[in-house]
Amino acid sequence: MKRILIAAAFLAAFAANAQSNKPGKSGFDNSPFDISLEVLPANYRGHDCKRFAAALKAAKLSKDEYETSEQYTLRTDAWKSNALVGNVKPIDSIAFRRDPSLHLEYKYNADEKTLNVWTPEVNKTTAVSGKLSNWDAIDVISQKESSYKAANAYGVTRQVSKTESKVCAIALSGVHYVPFQYTLRIENIEPSKAKSIKDNLNIFYVGNIDSPYIGTIYDGTSPSLDIPFETRWTGDAVVMRVKHAWAVDRRTGEVLGKRDF
């Protein structure tokens, strides 16, 4: 009987461990992220940006003018010790997947068998509590496309295409690139795999939420005669201290490369 109980306890512990970093019913992860993993579940979506943004806005983390510093510290410390979304506490590691619809650039070196992946040169900054911060879209919630005719001071006209996107994003705490661009290097990858990965690569931002925790995106580009396109980005931004960016094969969950921030 003692052996049976021990075996049952071992199996229960094994099953509990196997369940970590598996998606919930929504398809998103509801548990703290295990940064030691080298393989994620296939089609892993990471954590839900919209749920985190909603929970952070509801938490009312700004100091009230009628609240002493000691009271504020006690309140926020208590908040950090409780679950924020699912089983994830504010102090836990999380992983947000960069929206797969966003463009990435690729360059393969057949001699070295390396694949460099990088974000396009887009100067994306947003103001969070008066400080500029780089940001990236985790979830493109909706997009609206339109066009209009514009003219410059000399009467030259262009038909401008306008795209307005509502997003849930992350604002990168402690990171400020101008323009915002970074490269992930994937090593020891065969040509056939490098070809197939271009349509199946997910980028994950891995780290922790950070003060002031929530911000607002209002960013975009203005049209010109040479580039008659206008973009507008709006939405919530979860403030995150990103420690790594992971390149992951969506089909298998294999972690192909990591980049430190």
| Structure confidence by residue, pLDDT tens digits, 89-126 | 999 999 999 999 998 999 999 999 999 998 875 557 77
Predicted structure pTM score: 0.85
Q: For 114-161, what is each residue's pLDDT tens digit?
A: 999 988 755 577 777 667 788 899 999 999 999 999 998 888 999 999
**φ/ψ of residue 187, rounded to 5:** -105, 160
CB burial readout 201-233, b (16+ within 10 A) else e: bbbbbbbbbbeebbbebebeeebeeeebebeeb
The one-letter amino acid code at 21 reads: N
Q: Taking the CB of residue 184, how many other CB atoms lie within 10 A of it?
A: 20
Under a CB-based contact definition with an 8 Å cutoff, are residues 193 and 251 in contact?
Answer: no
Under a CB-based contact definition with an 8 Å cutoff, are residues 202 and 97 in contact?
Answer: yes
What's the CA gap between 107 and 204, in Å, rounded?
A: 19
DSSP state of 28: S
Per-residue model confidence (pLDDT) at position 179: 60
As a whole number, the mean pLDDT across the chain is: 86
pLDDT tens, residue order, the chain (261 aa): 333 333 333 334 334 444 456 555 569 999 999 999 999 999 999 999 999 999 999 998 888 899 999 999 999 999 999 999 999 999 999 999 999 999 899 999 999 999 999 887 555 777 776 677 888 999 999 999 999 999 988 889 999 999 999 999 999 887 766 666 778 999 999 999 999 998 899 999 999 999 999 999 888 889 998 999 999 999 999 999 999 999 999 999 999 999 998
Nearest CA among 95, 60, 76, 250 for reference residue 170: 95
* SS3 sequence of 75-118: HHHHHHCCCCECCECCCCCEEEECCCCCCCEEEEECCCCEEEEE
Radius of gyration for the alpha carbons in the chain, expressed in angstroms and rounded: 22
What the block records as the tokens of 45 is 């979506």
Length of the chain: 261
Q: By CB neighbour count within 10 A (0-12 exposed, 13-18 middle, 19+ buried), where does 254 fall?
A: middle
